[in-house]
């Protein structure tokens, strides 16, 4: 607003010096703010207008015959007045910004220690929201936390500020859960890198009366809360600020501007960083527990089946893997040696494998047919696998003590390799079957083979054959068959160790790759007709 106190002396001097010129100052609506001494005017007088930075105008009525030098002096004087006004406003703005910045730094500094001792997300969010509301002058603030897998947002913190700047003892008055892809929440979470404004004047009242934006009297500003991870920027939720206190929304004022946005972004960044650290710590704890659980479900010793030498091993090249092997007792007394692989290489894959192991062992108590067992496993795990968008491949070999006959069932897994000692040949036992989790009902036929002394059946996951070297060449079936031929004369545990060593030596240095699981089933004995273990 134009200051008559600051410039009335200059205007009075101009009015006194230019007796024939009428001067006055009006606001943007034409309301007169200052007028010089009355001067006679004529119909042919010209009007000179000079705009001031605040929207006001200096109006000068110039009579006919006014000397050009006088008009030039007047224009120069009024332009100087405008520049002085602009300079004063700039200085005032800089002063206000400096004061506000100091207040923000002070408030951030006061808030940060309180955040470190907050016990819960709700307490953490309330501390940030209260400081942010008081710094911006917002009437209300909420924190909506994103649950990405469920596709919903949940109000995890809420504060409301009274007219005198004190927090009110109120609860969030709307539904605390909402779809994460709709309305204002959907907009800010979808962008994830910039704030979003919602104005009742521009958009009208929110159609969904339970949505967060329906609480706005005039406007609401939403800023994303995110944390930086090693791979990407993880959006955790959003802070919403409502209606600046003292703002007259009935006359279309807008209170939440760029300064409030910068303040909100600062607090959102602080909240996101702390939530990210806590989330990482919680994930590390859960990951440690998952690794411990996964280690516990693996066989602690080789299977003891009379007439066979059985050994297995698992190498996890990630944090929690999706590979698994087991020796499952069937109802008829046989042992089912199983190798399985859940798609993906994360916590969800590892937990699905734990679930598959528990389900398989439970079903094995009621079934003795490997094909029927896999069909029931597919039916039981279909929904869980579909929900997490995973599938499971598995191969099982049923071993009966003191016999040479094996029964093999395959659910979309790599074909087992059969080494025949009599001619040192290796063949894959193919099976045209589907993976577990692809459909709720599936049949899994079985294949029977007879083993001879010195023969070996090798079960493996695709982490073996798909291991890549520095030239992007895969280890492949042929190399695996070659290693098996070289190692087959040794005990099962040594066969596993030699294959593991060959893959490790072949793999690109530093490459983590896929998990590797192997089970070797060997019939001991010589190849000259002497049977071993039968």
C-alpha 42/C-alpha 19 separation (Å) is 14
Residues 6+ apart with CB under 8 A from 402: 306, 307, 533, 534
CATH 3.30.450.40 maps onto the chain at 118-283
The predicted structure's pLDDT at residue 534: 30
* Torsion angles phi and psi, residue 102, rounded to 5: -65, -40
User: What's the pTM value of the predicted model, to 2 decimals?
Assistant: 0.53
Cβ–Cβ under 8 Å, residues 205 and 216 = no
pLDDT < 70 regions, the chain:
1-8, 92-119, 230-231, 281-296, 317-321, 344-350, 388, 510-513, 526-534
pLDDT of residue 531: 37
Report yes or no: 131 and 221 within 8 Å, Cβ to Cβ: no
pLDDT at 164: 82
Handedness of CA 423, 428, 430, 435 (dihedral sign): positive
Q: 47 with 62: CB under 8 angstroms? A: yes
> Given this model, what pLDDT does residue 119 score?
66
Structure tokens belonging to residue 464: 């073996």
Q: What confidence score (pLDDT) does residue 285 get?
A: 63
Long-range contacts of range 471-478, CB-CB < 8 Å, 24 or more positions apart?
475/502, 475/503, 475/506, 475/507, 477/417, 477/428
Q: Looking at the chain, which residues constitute the CATH 3.60.40.10 domain(s)?
A: 298-522
The CATH code of the domain at 118-283 is 3.30.450.40
Question: What pLDDT, on a 0 to 100 scale, did the predictor assign at position 527?
Answer: 43
Q: CA dihedral in degrees (284, 288, 294, 296; nearest 10)?
A: -170
pLDDT at 454: 95
Q: At what angle do helices 121-136 and 68-116 cross, to 10 degrees?
A: 160
What CA dihedral angle connects 296, 297, 301 and 306, to 10 degrees? 160
Region 298-522: CATH code: 3.60.40.10
Task: Give phi and psi for 325, each to the nearest 5.
Answer: -140, 155
Q: Distance between CA atoms of 480 and 503, rounded to whole angstroms?
A: 9
pLDDT at position 321, please?
62
Q: How many CA atoms within 13 Å lie on the side-chain side of 73?
A: 11
Q: In what order do the strands lie in the sheet with 177-179?
A: 177-179, 152-160, 138-147, 233-244, 219-228, 196-199
Q: What pLDDT score does 4 carry?
A: 44
């Amino acid at each position: 607003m134009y200051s008559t106190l600051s410039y009335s002396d200059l205007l009075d001097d101009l009015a006194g010096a230019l007796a024939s010129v009428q001067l006055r100052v009006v606001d943007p609506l034409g309301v007169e703010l200052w007028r010089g001494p009355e001067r006679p005017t004529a119909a042919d007088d010209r009007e000179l207008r000079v705009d001031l930075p605040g929207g006001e105008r200096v109006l000068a009525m110039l009579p006919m015959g006014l000397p050009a030098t006088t008009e030039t002096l007047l224009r120069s004087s009024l332009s100087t007045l405008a520049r002085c006004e602009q300079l004063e406003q700039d200085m005032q703005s800089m002063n206000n910004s400096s004061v506000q910045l100091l207040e923000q730094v002070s408030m951030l500094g006061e808030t940060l220690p309180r955040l470190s001792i907050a016990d819960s997300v709700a307490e953490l969010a309330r501390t940030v929201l209260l400081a942010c509301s008081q710094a911006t002058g917002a009437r209300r603030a909420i924190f909506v936390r994103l649950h990405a897998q469920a596709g919903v947002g949940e109000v995890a913190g809420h504060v409301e500020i009274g007219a005198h700047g004190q927090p009110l003892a109120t609860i969030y008055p709307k539904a605390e859960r909402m779809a994460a892809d709709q309305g204002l929440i959907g907009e800010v979470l979808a962008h994830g890198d910039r704030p979003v404004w919602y104005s009742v004047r521009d958009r009208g009242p929110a159609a969904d009366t339970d949505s967060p934006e329906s609480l706005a009297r005039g406007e609401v500003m939403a800023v994303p809360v995110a944390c930086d991870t090693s791979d990407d920027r993880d959006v955790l939720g959003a802070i919403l600020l409502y209606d600046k206190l003292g703002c007259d929304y009935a006359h279309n004022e807008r209170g939440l501007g760029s300064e409030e946005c910068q303040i909100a972004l600062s607090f959102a960044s602080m909240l996101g960083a702390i939530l990210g650290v806590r989330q990482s710590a919680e994930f590390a704890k859960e990951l440690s527990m998952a690794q411990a659980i996964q280690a516990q479900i693996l066989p602690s010793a080789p299977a003891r089946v009379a007439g066979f030498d059985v050994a297995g091993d698992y190498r996890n090249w990630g944090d929690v893997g999706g590979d698994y092997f087991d020796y499952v007792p069937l109802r008829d007394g046989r042992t089912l040696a199983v190798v399985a692989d859940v798609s993906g290489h994360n916590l969800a894959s590892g937990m699905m494998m734990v679930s598959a192991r528990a389900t398989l062992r439970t079903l094995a108590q009621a079934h003795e047919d490997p094909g029927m067992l896999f069909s029931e496993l597919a039916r039981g795990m279909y929904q869980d696998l579909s929900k997490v968008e995973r599938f499971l491949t598995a191969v099982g070999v049923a071993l009966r003590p003191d016999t040479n006959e094996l029964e093999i069932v395959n659910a979309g897994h790599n074909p087992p390799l059969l080494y025949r000692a009599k001619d040192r040949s290796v063949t894959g036992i193919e099976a045209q079957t589907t993976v577990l989790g692809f459909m709720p009902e599936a049949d899994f036929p079985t294949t029977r083979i007879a083993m001879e002394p010195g023969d070996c059946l090798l079960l493996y996951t695709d982490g073996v054959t798909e291991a890549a070297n520095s030239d992007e060449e895969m280890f492949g079936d042929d190399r695996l068959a070659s290693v098996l031929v070289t190692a087959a004369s040794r005990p099962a545990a040594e066969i596993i160790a030699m294959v593991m060593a060959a893959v490790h030596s072949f793999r690109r240095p530093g490459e983590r790759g896929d998990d590797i699981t192997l089970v070797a089933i060997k019939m001991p004995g010589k190849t000259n007709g002497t049977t071993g273990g039968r």
